[in-house]
């Protein structure tokens, strides 16, 4: 089945082409959904077949490469269109296709119910979504960094198209442009990094590149540090980590299924995949590894505080995504590659579930996003409530019964016990777990508990979601519970199926501390903080809501509430340090001497045009006289010159 690998990215791209070509024929919504959802479903099915073959009969060195043709041939630069399958790319492909299929199935009903989507928009939406999935699959299956960069830029383009999908609202267009421009900063750094790698190592094929880097560059060399830092620039842009995180909250302008796909399985995890895929380069640059861990720790804390004060349910989930990807960066920075990818997998399940659950609520309340206008929805939308509660519990890492507990616990323990970790990074992750539980169950209590607020009372009874929206919720809820059982700590059975699988591609962490008793104590502490966070949220946002209002009304409370709500002022900082200076320079440069030269040429052409235009007066006799005079002049010149 391995030779079918090429079909995995090809099927979504074929769906995109078919939907684009059929757009002029105005196909029915049923046809559009069949193509859009069916192509991703077939891709997921092929992934299942290929993955089964890979696991049951592993290829040599646990890697399979499928080469098609040479893409560019210039001297020694011979990048190919080729796909490579190993444990890391198989994991990414499985998550992208299966979670992507569930999101597409959900979208078939969600977008049909949306009053903001006409027939043309319905087909355009699925065309963009299919292209998005296809580009992400190219990114994760690419055999060389140039083809990976093609997929990298492709998902950036699709994010622009999907975030600004409802482009009639200028605010959505601004959000799309912001996402595209901010991530381009990181993309530029990454492109420079690719030039540096090829110039010094002579190839962009990933495996030969890693081998040459390990052979030619000593640990801590300037070139290794520079290359890793430039790739890190690309990763923080795509994965919305400090200091390029400002685009992600505004990306909520897109339809909710876009948010689920963008934040759970595709674009924001591309940076995590890039670092894991080029782990050899980062291992050669310990200083950059430390920066990765620090960026992850700071991002998970800053985003956690911001999530505490948001009113828009989707913005809470957006900041949550930044925070959880921060955990993945923290794990990558301490060399816990397996822990990072394990959390990537579980996060894809529960975060997609939470976004899709939020989409049900928003669609039933006529696009209302404010949690303070909801309340009491557990009785109106019971299935959504129970599945959303499971996702919230997994995000909060409630002990034993959620997938998020096992993946987050692995990150925390690896951060403490790794040779590259330490107590400060561990403490940041532990405190982030407390924040996560508080803001997550604040969202649950405000949305589903208490008395129904104005929007709920106005539209009650609320229509229940159909099977196309309900089935993905149930499946993702099940995965949010059992998905963590593939990797459990030694204190809870010591199952290591995931680490054995991913260990064929990624190296194990370097352990500095290994003590089962200490590990158990840390697990109990993390569990107590998660449960304590739920209790704090219960007190302040359900039982004694006036306490939260009293804290917010103090001078310090008002200042912190505003500061955290606007994302710690990073938008203002970027405007002052980058945007405004560039605008001022552009205005100064507008009337420089170089422009004057070209302006003069334009004015000369305009003057000549007006003179010639004056000869077009409609008098035929003058036209004939001019033709005759021209003939006489030309004849005279010919006679004289000859």
* pLDDT tens-digit readout, 443-457: 999 999 988 876 777
Q: Of 262, 338, 271, 323, whose CA–CA distance to 505 is shortest?
A: 338
Q: Name which residue leads in pLDDT, 515 or 153.
A: 153
| Least confident piece of the model among 91-105, 227-241, 548-562 | 548-562
Counting the structural domains of the chain, the total is 2
Where residue 262 falls among pLDDT bands split at 50, 70, 90?
Answer: confident
Q: Of 164, 179, 174, whose CA–CA distance to 121 is shortest?
A: 164
What's the pLDDT at 118? 59
The token pair at 457 is 């009372």
Same domain, 470 and 539: yes
What's the pLDDT at 375? 85
Same domain, 427 and 539: yes
Contact of 331 with 272, CB cutoff 8 Å = no
Same domain, 467 and 496: yes
Where residue 16 falls among pLDDT bands split at 50, 70, 90?
Answer: very high
The mean predicted confidence, pLDDT, of the chain is 90
* pLDDT tops 90 at residue 509: no
Same domain, 575 and 560: no
pLDDT tens profile 170-201: 888 999 999 999 999 999 999 999 999 999 99
Q: What percent of the chain has pLDDT over 90?
A: 61
Domain extent for 506: 285-565
What's the pLDDT at 166? 87
In a domain, 143, yes or no: no
What's the pLDDT at 636? 84
In a domain, 85, yes or no: no
Same domain, 555 and 601: no
What's the pLDDT at 513? 66
Give the whole-angstrom CA distance, residue 111 versus residue 117: 7
Where residue 115 falls among pLDDT bands split at 50, 70, 90?
Answer: low
pLDDT tens profile 412-427: 999 998 888 889 999 9
Same domain, 345 and 418: yes
Same domain, 455 and 495: yes
Same domain, 302 and 420: yes
What pTM was estimated for this model as a whole? 0.90
In a domain, 201, yes or no: no
Same domain, 578 and 555: no
Same domain, 583 and 458: no
Same domain, 424 and 316: yes
CB atoms within 10 A of CB 30: 10
pLDDT tens profile 291-330: 999 999 999 999 999 999 999 999 999 999 999 999 999 9
What is the sign of the dihedral through the CA atoms of 184, 188, 193 and 194?
Answer: positive
Same domain, 416 and 489: yes
CB atoms within 10 A of CB 372: 12
In a domain, 162, yes or no: no
């Amino acid at each position: 089945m391995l030779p079918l690998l090429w079909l995995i990215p090809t099927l979504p791209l074929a769906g995109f082409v078919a939907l684009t070509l059929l757009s002029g024929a105005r196909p029915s919504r049923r046809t559009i959904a069949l193509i859009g959802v069916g192509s991703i479903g077939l891709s997921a099915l092929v992934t299942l077949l290929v993955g089964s073959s890979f696991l049951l009969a592993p290829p040599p060195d646990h890697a399979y490469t499928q080469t098609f043709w040479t893409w560019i041939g210039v001297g020694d630069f011979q990048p190919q269109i080729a796909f490579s399958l190993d444990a890391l790319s198989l994991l990414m492909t499985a998550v992208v296709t299966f979670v992507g299929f569930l999101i597409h199935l959900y979208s078939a009903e969600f977008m049909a119910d949306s009053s903001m989507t006409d027939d043309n928009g319905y087909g355009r939406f699925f065309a963009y979504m299919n292209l998005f999935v296809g580009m992400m699959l190219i990114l994760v299956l690419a055999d060389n960094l140039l083809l990976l960069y093609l997929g990298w830029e492709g998902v950036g383009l699709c994010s622009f198209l999907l975030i600004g999908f409802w482009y009639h609202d200028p605010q959505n267009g601004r959000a799309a442009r912001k996402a595209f421009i901010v991530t381009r900063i990181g993309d530029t750094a990454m492109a420079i990094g690719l030039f540096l790698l090829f110039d010094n190592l002579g190839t962009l094929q990933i495996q030969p590149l890693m081998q040459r880097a390990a052979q030619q560059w000593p640990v801590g060399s300037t070139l290794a540090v520079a290359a890793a830092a430039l790739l890190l620039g690309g990763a923080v842009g795509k994965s919305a980590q400090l200091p390029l995180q400002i685009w992600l909250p505004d990306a909520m302008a897109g339809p909710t299924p876009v948010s689920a796909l963008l934040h759970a399985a595709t674009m924001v995890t591309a940076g995590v995949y890039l670092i894991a895929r080029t782990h050899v380069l980062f291992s050669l640059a310990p200083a950059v590894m430390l920066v990765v861990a620090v960026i992850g720790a700071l991002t998970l804390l800053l985003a956690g505080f911001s999530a505490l004060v948001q009113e828009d349910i989707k913005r809470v989930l957006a900041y949550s995504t930044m925070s959880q990807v921060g955990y993945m960066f923290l794990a990558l920075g301490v060399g816990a590659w397996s822990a990072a990818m394990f959390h990537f997998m579980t996060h894809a399940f529960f975060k997609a579930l939470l976004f899709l659950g939020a989409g049900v609520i928003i669609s039933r309340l006529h696009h209302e996003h404010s949690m303070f206008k909801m309340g009491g929805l557990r009785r109106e939308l019971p299935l959504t409530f129970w599945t959303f509660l499971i996702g919230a519990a997994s995000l909060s890492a409630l002990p034993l019964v959620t997938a998020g507990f096992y993946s987050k616990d692995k990150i925390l323990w690896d951060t403490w016990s790794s040779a590259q970790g330490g107590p400060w990074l561990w403490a940041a992750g532990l405190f982030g777990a407390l924040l996560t539980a508080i803001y997550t169950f604040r969202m649950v209590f405000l949305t589903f508990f208490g008395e129904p607020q104005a929007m709920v009372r106005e539209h009650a009874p609320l229509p229940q979601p159909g099977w196309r929206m309900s089935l993905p919720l149930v499946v993702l809820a099940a995965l949010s519970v059992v998905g963590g059982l593939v990797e459990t700590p030694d204190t809870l059975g010591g199952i290591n199926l995931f680490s054995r699988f991913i260990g064929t591609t990624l190296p194990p962490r370097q352990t500095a501390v290994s003590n089962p008793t200490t590990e158990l104590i840390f697990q109990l502490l993390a569990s107590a903080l998660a449960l304590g966070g739920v209790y704090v949220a219960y007190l302040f946002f359900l039982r004694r809501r006036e306490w939260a209002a009293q804290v917010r009304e103090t001078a310090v409370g008002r200042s912190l509430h505003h500061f955290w709500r606007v994302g710690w002022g990073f938008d203002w900082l970027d405007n002052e340090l980058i945007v405004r200076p560039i605008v001022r320079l552009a205005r100064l440069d507008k009337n420089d001497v170089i422009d004057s030269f070209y302006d003069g040429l334009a004015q000369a052409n305009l003057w000549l045009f007006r003179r010639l235009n004056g000869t077009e007066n409609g008098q035929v006799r003058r036209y004939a006289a001019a033709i005759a005079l021209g003939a006489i002049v030309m004849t005279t010149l010919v006679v004289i010159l000859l």
